[in-house]
Amino acid sequence: MRKDLRTAIRDARVHLEGAQRIAVLTGAGMSAESGIATYRDAQTGLWEKYSPEQLATAEAMSDQPDLVWSWILHQARVIRSVEPHEGHNVLGTWQRELREKNGALDIITQNIDDLHERGNADVLAHLHGSTFSFRCFECDAPSDYELQTATPEQLAARPELDQLVLEDPPPCTQCQHGFIRPNIVLFGEMLPQQAMNDALDAVRSADVALVVGTSNIVQPAASLPIAASAAGAKIIEINPNVTPLSEDADVYIADTAGNVLPELYR
Ligand code: NAD
Ligand code: ZN
């Protein structure tokens, strides 16, 4: 470990010592070491021909429901085929420990995967929704659709878009004419208001905000560390690459979530 890295971790530990309320803000980088690519890194395969901005929209879902559904389904199966890493697990343990001391570790994530939950942590706010719950695209009725796990062949294939086996989205059982979609926030859609309110409450009452694996450019999520800081929280950022937040963070740790979180918890 480089010396400046060691110093940063030591400084972060000082802020965390005795902290009763920790807000953890996570982005795609939190899941990278589990094998789920961040947008920036995902320049191959499924992302080569279409950017998420083109495909993950309500318009695309309405124009080409089978393509968008099959693409989302494939992402969901990939997510289910990987495991949470040590960083996810540590957050689960840390959360239980703080709760026993009447404190809190509130997780606010931009990720639509379920790796925090599978690391035995509760997520306070899924700002961009979740890939594993569904509703009707037309009438909004919640759906109890359950995702099928992928066969090893389907997973190994990691197909490109033009090789996807197209499946139609299942029909809604309530209105009969709509089809179902996952409860994720598509480009151009509003964030769930309750999740954003919960996130704001959590960061404003936090002693420390840990900002992990997010590029800090997607709004309004990027405003949360600023709100935390304005309310008096210390900001610790974990990201191998600098972001617009790094300079203003109280401590910036230039390493990965999987390396740093276990070090901070120790
Ligand atoms: P992003 O892809 O824009 O940025 C990811 C950040 O993580 C980068 O700053 C990168 O330097 C950092 N990073 C990469 N590897 C890391 C590691 N091992 N440890 C720590 N940091 C690491 O992602 P974003 O800021 O979360 O926002 C973009 C959008 O992408 C979000 O809306 C999110 O919903 C969506 N997204 C979600 C997933 C997922 O659910 N797992 C995956 C890809 C994209
Ligand atoms: Zn319906």
Q: Residue 244: pLDDT band by 50, 70, 90 thresholds?
A: very high
Question: Could you tell me if 161 and 50 lie in one domain?
Answer: yes
Q: 90-127, pLDDT tens digit by residue?
A: 999 999 999 999 999 999 999 999 999 999 999 999 99
Q: Kindly report the CATH number assigned to the domain that includes residue 200.
A: 3.40.50.1220
Give the chain's domain count. Answer: 2
How much is the mean pLDDT over the chain? 91
Give pTM, 2 decimals: 0.92
Ligand nearest to the CA of 39: 1
What is the structure's pLDDT at 28?
94
Domain boundary among 165, 184, 203: 184
- Range of 137's domain? 37-81+130-184
DSSP code of residue 35:
T
Question: Could you tell me if 109 and 230 lie in one domain?
Answer: yes
> Residues with Cβ within 5 Å of ion ligand 2?
136, 138-139, 141, 172, 174-175, 178
Amino acid at residue number 246: S
Are 189 and 135 in contact by the 8 Å Cβ rule? The answer is no
Q: 146-198, pLDDT tens digit by residue?
A: 887 777 777 666 666 666 788 999 999 999 899 999 999 998 899 999 999 99
Reduced 3-state DSSP string for 157-222: HCCCHHHCCCCCCCECCCCCCCEEEEEECCECCCCCHHHHHHHHHHHHCCCEEEEECCCCCCCCHH
What is the structure's pLDDT at 151?
75
φ, ψ of residue 84 to 5 degrees: the values are -65, 150
